[in-house]
């Protein structure tokens, strides 16, 4: 191929929440180079090693390119017609035999980065019509969504740390040097942290491991896993006791301060110190530093969510931000004004319906519903346990729960007992090997992109659209078309259900609702006139254009000249910068009271459990080992281990053990250890390192690629073990139903 066939494409990376701009060089349909897009308005050329592998993912010979249908026990290639017919037979059969409650749905993490799934996933959910809805959210951020929903009125109204302007950043349970940040969208967290330190700001990291982020910090507090709620309560206690509470500009919009002050009273630094492993003087000092800094912000992530006090900890993060006057001000915790999709930019500013929780419970264990879903930790028992409502068929979309959910061996076995399973995915992996039909999604390069949810949590107001880089393969439906047709078939339609017709109905209904909505910028306009403006676009592009135009930065279909539309984004492939975050209270609130709820009842009630936990731990100090997770820059949950350039080199799936523990247990660096928990055991290579706190061992998740029936040549050669063989499905954060994936009691011995 000659150089004249070379072309450049600009595209946002869909692999993690950072959303870096990429510049791809292609020869024909082959990607020959990927660099950071220096002109991207947000990432300015930053990228990580994963971002350079979109071409590898596309070219991966193991990527599923034609539908696979199970015949005589084997998954074999089939035509789309055959696959859809098999889906219809499978789903309709289960519904006829057992009713709709026998269906279940699991949506995995890449849905959050997938425009088609974001805009049309609801059609699938509605079509299935089952209460058994599960997602990766309940092994991840559900506690934060619940606490934010209760405090601010919507689960995605999550305040984000304004790290570009803050003077003091307290990070708990996050390692953005590996993860590139989460629920706080910004490319180049490392660069932003270095800029914070260069301007004289202070970084304090709370983590049982001395992570890369902790190494960059002014101070690292190696906390005992699972005890962050106690640490934060003690900080609240000091703020109150020392008279340091100052709500600042938001004071008139906050209620419940007295309740919180009261709740924190027993949690003095002296009371919690032995349990958290952080000395009382340090806790006092950090509390005072937070109050004294010109601006400061507390930020917590996975290590504060996937623990038994996940929701309470997530709540306390924002309580501290509020008590120190840092909510809704530059340098503190702020609310994004997203161009698309944000509930806090629709309806009546300052008030709304809020969130309701625990409206129903799971059939077998009675675990709580939150935000329309059940905890994925109950999925296996719902499949195994006979009776009315037993799950007999499962639909997975972009998920690998066999590696990503607690006691995954139990789920692995349960999936084998389903009557029917269909997966929309790109691989035959640990989960999809159980499917009766695999419907292949196009590769990321064949799809358009807009980060609908993640740009609602961006540290700057930006909008960035990417068209597909490569065309779809002949006969290959787009991912949104797959989801819509699957949804219609699940609802009872023929296998030939037409996604385009459903798409037309959706857009007509949305436009109709907008022109009827008194709070919308197109209220009273003629629906047909707006539909004519959106034509001839269809699919995700049309819906995105509609949302852009009617969003807070939109052109309101001509009424606000200069505003956003999809044409504007297409003309600006490096993104549109809409400026720094600005104070948004009280307008961003959607609580029924119109106030920030500092002391929501369900969280106040959970403090009893925290008090009991403290008393129990003081009376009987925990002395065994506990397991925590970790992430690596070159790995992405469970699904990028088939990319050779990422997994080559040193083995990353090791169990990290502190030297004191290693010598006590007779473990040698490079040797092998058997790690056991209540639910299972694994044997993994030992890495002796003082980066973990004594008493803590660490194993990353997403590995364990040696199961029969998977088609992952590279990953299978370096399988590693799954940490979720050890995590316990019976322990949940009772408020959010989130799984507990950290602070798992284990024993470790030489293998």
Task: Provide the phi-psi class of 243: left if phi over 0, else alpha when psi is between -120 and 50, else beta.
Answer: left
Name residue 327's beta-bridge partners: 333
Q: Which is nearer to ligand MGD, 466 or 550 (CB)?
A: 466
The reply to whether 18 sits near ligand SF4 by the rule CB under 6 A is yes
* Contact with ligand MGD (CB under 6 A) among 52, 326, 727, 738: 727
Residues 138-167 that bind Mo ion (CB under 5 A): 140
Residues 165-194 that bind ligand SF4 (CB under 6 A): 180, 187
Contact range with ligand MGD by CB under 6 A, out of 575-583, 593-601, 645-653, 740-748: 740-748
Q: How far apart are CA 448 and CA 332, in angstroms?
A: 34
Cα distances (Å, whole numbers) of residue 292 to 13, 40, 230, 340: 39, 36, 22, 36
Q: How far apart are CA 111 and CA 119, in angstroms?
A: 10
- Select from Mo ion, ligand MGD, ligand SF4, none the partner in contact with residue 172, using the beta carbon and a kind-dependent cut-off of 5 to 8 Å: ligand MGD
Q: Which is nearer to ligand MGD, 140 or 555 (CB)?
A: 140
The reply to whether 37 sits near Mo ion by the rule CB under 5 A is no
Q: Which is nearer to ligand MGD, 546 or 743 (CB)?
A: 743
Run of H or E residues at 609: helix 601-619
Name residue 370's beta-bridge partners: 373
* Contact with ligand SF4 (CB under 6 A) among 26, 31, 50, 346: 50
First to last CA, the chain: 53
The contacts of residue 646 (CB under 8 Å, 6+ apart) are 49, 50, 53, 634, 635, 640
- Select from Mo ion, ligand SF4, ligand MGD, none the partner in contact with residue 51, using the beta carbon and a kind-dependent cut-off of 5 to 8 Å: ligand SF4
SS3 content of the chain, % helix, strand, coil (to 5): 40, 15, 45
Residues 659-678 that bind Mo ion (CB under 5 A): none
Contact range with ligand SF4 by CB under 6 A, out of 46-54, 73-81, 329-337, 731-739: 46-54
The reply to whether 346 sits near ligand MGD by the rule CB under 6 A is no
Contact map string, positions 462 to 481, toward ligand MGD, x by CB under 6 A: -----------------x--
Q: Which is nearer to ligand SF4, 86 or 445 (CB)?
A: 445
Contact range with Mo ion by CB under 5 A, out of 90-98, 134-142, 280-288, 571-579: 134-142
Q: How far apart are CA 343 and CA 347, in angstroms?
A: 8
SS3 assignment, position 440:
strand
Q: Structure tokens of 10?
A: 């600009």
Q: Which is nearer to ligand MGD, 510 or 633 (CB)?
A: 633
Cα distances (Å, whole numbers) of residue 460 to 43, 45, 456, 463: 11, 16, 10, 10
* Least Cβ distance, residue 458 to ligand SF4 (angstroms): 13
The contacts of residue 277 (CB under 8 Å, 6+ apart) are 222, 223, 224, 227, 693
Q: How far apart are CA 269 and CA 129, in angstroms?
A: 49
Cα distances (Å, whole numbers) of residue 517 to 61, 119, 504, 525: 50, 20, 20, 10
* Least Cβ distance, residue 136 to Mo ion (angstroms): 6
* Least Cβ distance, residue 470 to ligand MGD (angstroms): 13
* Least Cβ distance, residue 461 to ligand MGD (angstroms): 22
The reply to whether 429 sits near ligand MGD by the rule CB under 6 A is yes
Q: Which is nearer to ligand SF4, 51 or 600 (CB)?
A: 51
* CA–CA–CA angle 183, 113, 145 (5° rounding): 35
Q: How far apart are CA 628 and CA 640, in angstroms?
A: 21
Q: Which is nearer to ligand MGD, 193 or 585 (CB)?
A: 193
Position closest to ligand MGD via CB: 303
Kindly list the residues in this chain that would bind ligand MGD in the complex (CB under 6 A).
16-17, 108-110, 114, 136, 139-140, 172-176, 178-180, 182, 206-209, 211, 223, 225-226, 228, 301-303, 306-307, 397-401, 404, 424-427, 429, 441, 444, 479, 628-633, 635-639, 701-702, 723-724, 727, 741-743
Residues of the shown chain interacting with ligand SF4 in the complex, contacts defined by CB under 6 A:
13, 15-16, 18-20, 47-48, 50-51, 180, 187
- The residues that touch Mo ion, with contacts defined as CB under 5 A, are 140
């Amino acid at each position: 191929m000659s150089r004249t066939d070379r072309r450049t494409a600009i595209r946002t990376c869909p692999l993690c929440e950072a959303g870096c701009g990429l510049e791809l060089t292609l020869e024909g349909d082959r990607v020959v180079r990927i660099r950071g897009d220096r002109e991207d308005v947000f990432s300015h050329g930053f990228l990580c090693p994963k971002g350079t592998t979109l071409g590898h993912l596309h070219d991966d010979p193991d990527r599923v390119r034609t539908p696979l249908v199970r015949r005589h026990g084997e998954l074999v290639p089939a035509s789309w017609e055959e696959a859809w017919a098999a889906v219809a037979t499978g789903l309709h059969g289960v519904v006829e035999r057992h009713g709709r409650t026998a269906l279940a749905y699991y949506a995995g993490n890449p849905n959050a980065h997938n425009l088609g799934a974001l805009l049309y996933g609801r059609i699938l959910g509605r079509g299935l019509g089952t209460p058994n809805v599960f997602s990766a959210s309940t092994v991840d951020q559900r506690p934060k969504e619940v606490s934010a929903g209760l405090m601010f009125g919507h689960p995605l109204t999550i305040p984000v740390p304004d790290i570009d302007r803050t003077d003091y950043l307290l990070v708990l349970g996050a390692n953005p040097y590996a993860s590139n940040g989460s629920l706080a969208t910004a490319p180049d967290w490392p660069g932003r942290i270095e800029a914070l330190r260069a301007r004289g700001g202070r970084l304090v990291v709370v983590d049982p491991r001395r992570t890369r982020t902790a190494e960059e910090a002014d101070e690292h507090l190696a906390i005992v896993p699972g005890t962050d709620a106690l640490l934060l309560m003690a900080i609240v206690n000091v703020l109150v006791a020392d008279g340091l509470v100052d709500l600042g500009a938001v004071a008139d919009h906050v209620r419940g301060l007295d309740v919180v002050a009261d709740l924190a009273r027993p949690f003095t630094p002296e009371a919690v110190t032995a349990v958290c492993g952080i000395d009382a003087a340090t806790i006092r000092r950090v509390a005072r530093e937070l109050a004294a800094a010109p601006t400061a912000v507390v930020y917590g992530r996975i290590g504060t969510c996937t623990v038994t006090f996940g929701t309470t900890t997530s709540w306390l993060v924002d309580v501290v931000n509020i008590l120190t006057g840092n909510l809704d001000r530059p340098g503190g915790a702020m609310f994004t004004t997203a161009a698309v999709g944000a509930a806090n930019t629709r309806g009546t500013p300052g008030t709304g319906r809020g969130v309701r929780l625990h409206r129903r419970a799971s059939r077998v264990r009675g675990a709580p519903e939150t935000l329309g879903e059940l905890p994925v930790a109950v999925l296996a028992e719902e499949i195994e346990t006979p009776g009315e409502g037993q799950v007999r068929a499962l639909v997975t979309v972009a998920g690998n729960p066999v590696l990503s959910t607690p006691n995954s061996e139990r789920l692995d076995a349960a999936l084998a007992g389903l009557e029917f399973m269909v997966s929309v995915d790109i691989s035959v992996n640990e989960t999809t090997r159980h499917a009766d039909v695999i419907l292949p999604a196009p590769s990321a390069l064949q799809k358009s992109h807009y980060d609908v949810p993640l740009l609602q949590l961006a540290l700057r107001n930006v909008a960035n659209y990417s068209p597909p880089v490569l065309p779809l393969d002949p006969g290959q439906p787009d991912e949104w078309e797959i989801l819509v047709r699957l949804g219609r078939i699940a609802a009872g339609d023929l296998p030939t259900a037409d996604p385009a017709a459903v798409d037309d109905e959706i857009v007509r209904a949305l436009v109709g609702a907008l022109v009827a909505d008194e709070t919308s910028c197109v209220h009273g306009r003629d629906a047909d006139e707006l539909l004519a403006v959106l034509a001839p676009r269809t699919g995700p592009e049309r819906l995105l254009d509609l949302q852009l135009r009617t969003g807070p930065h939109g052109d309101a279909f001509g009424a606000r000249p200069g505003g956003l539309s999809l044409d504007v984004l297409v003309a600006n492939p490096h993104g549109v910068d809409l400026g720094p975050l600005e104070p948004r209270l009280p307008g961003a609130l959607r609580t029924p009271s119109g106030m920030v709820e500092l002391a929501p009842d369900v969280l106040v009630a959970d403090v009893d459990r925290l008090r009991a936990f403290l008393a129990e731990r003081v009376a009987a100090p925990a002395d065994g080992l506990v397991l925590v997770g970790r992430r690596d820059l070159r790995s992405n949950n469970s699904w990028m281990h088939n990319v050779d350039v990422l997994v080559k080199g040193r083995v990353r799936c090791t169990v990290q053990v502190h030297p004191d523990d290693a010598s006590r247990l007779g473990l040698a660096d490079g040797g092998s250890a058997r790690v056991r928990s209540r639910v299972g055991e694994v044997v993994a290579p030992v890495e002796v390192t003082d980066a973990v706190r004594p008493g803590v061992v660490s194993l990353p998740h997403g590995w364990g690629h040696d199961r029969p029936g998977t088609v992952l040549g590279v990953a299978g050669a370096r399988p590693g073990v799954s940490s979720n063989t050890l995590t316990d499905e019976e322990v949940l954060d009772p408020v959010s139903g989130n799984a507990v994936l950290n602070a798992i009691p284990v024993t470790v011995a030489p293998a």
